[in-house]
Amino acid sequence: MGQAAKVLQLFKTLHRTRQQVFKNDTKALEAARIKINEEFKSNKNETSSKKIEELIKIGSDVELLLRTSVIQGIHTDNNTLKLVPRKDLLLENVPYCDTPNQKH
């Protein structure tokens, strides 16, 4: 796949991820849309293949971070925040154990 196709694919992937991660949050959706578009526009005249690959790597890392680490929170009153994790974040959770089981 050529670099132009990789850049376009990353652009689309970031916007899809934005729509999933910030679903029902119009402020966050708009802020993320603007930020993604600004970053791509600011680098649209880049010609160095090496620099383009670095930018693609950064964008891919950002997409992964958004997809795997961001959890929405809803203010329910002054002192309470209700977390709304997406199903893809609810992986099998193995509890931490300070003392490992001894094998006999």
Between 12-21, 53-62, 64-73, 79-88, the lowest mean confidence (pLDDT) is in 79-88
**Per-residue pLDDT, 102:** 64
**Per-residue pLDDT, 94:** 63
Give this prediction's pTM: 0.78
Residue 83 pLDDT > 90: no
d(CA 18, CA 63): 8
d(CA 34, CA 47): 23
Element (H, E) at 39: helix 26-42
**Per-residue pLDDT, 103:** 64
Mean pLDDT confidence for 8-23: 95
Mean pLDDT confidence for 87-101: 69
**Per-residue pLDDT, 86:** 80
**Per-residue pLDDT, 69:** 85
**Per-residue pLDDT, 37:** 97
